[in-house]
Amino acid sequence: MKTAAAIAAAVRGGQVTATALAERTIAALHADAHVAVTRVLVERALGEAAAVDAMIARGKDPGVLAGVPYGVKDLFDVAGVTTTAGSAVYANAAPASADAEAIHRLKAAGAVLFATLNMDEFAYGFATINATYGTTRNPHDPQRLAGGSSGGSAAVVAAGLLPFTLGSDTNGSIRVPASLCGLYGLKPAHASLPLAGTFPFAESFDDIGPFTASLEDMALVWGVLRNEPLAETQGEIRIARLGGRFCENAEPAQLASIDAIAPDAPLLELPDIARARSAAFLITAYEGGHLHRETLSTSALVYDPAVRDRLIAGALLPEQLYAKARAFRAEFLARLNALIVDFDVLLAPATPCTAPLIADPRIMIDGAFSPARADLGIHTQPITFTGLPSLAVPLRRPGQLPLGLQLIGKPGGEGILLALARRLENEGFTGVTAPERTFAGELT
The H-or-E segment that residue 296 falls in is helix 273-299
Question: How far does Cα 335 stand from its chain's mean position?
Answer: 28
Integer angstrom CA distances of residue 239 from 72, 265, 346: 33, 6, 6
Angle of helix 273-299 versus helix 319-339 axis, rounded to 10: 150
**Catalytic: which of 149, 153, 179, 192?**
149
149 noted as active-site residue: yes
| CB-neighbour burial class of residue 216 (10 A; exposed 0-12, middle 13-18, buried 19+) | middle
- What's the length of the chain? 444
Give the whole-angstrom CA distance, residue 229 versus residue 182: 25
Collapsed DSSP state (helix, strand, coil) of residue 2: coil
204 noted as active-site residue: no
- Helices marked H in 138-272: 151-158, 175-181, 215-226, 245-248, 252-261
Give the whole-angstrom CA distance, residue 183 versus residue 431: 8
73 noted as active-site residue: yes
Collapsed DSSP state (helix, strand, coil) of residue 425: helix
Q: Which amino acid is at 86?
A: G
* CA nearest to 214, candidates 224, 222, 205, 206: 222
**Catalytic: which of 168, 173, 214, 257?**
173
Answer whether 354's CB lies under 8 Å from 389's CB.
no
**Active-site positions?**
73, 149, 173
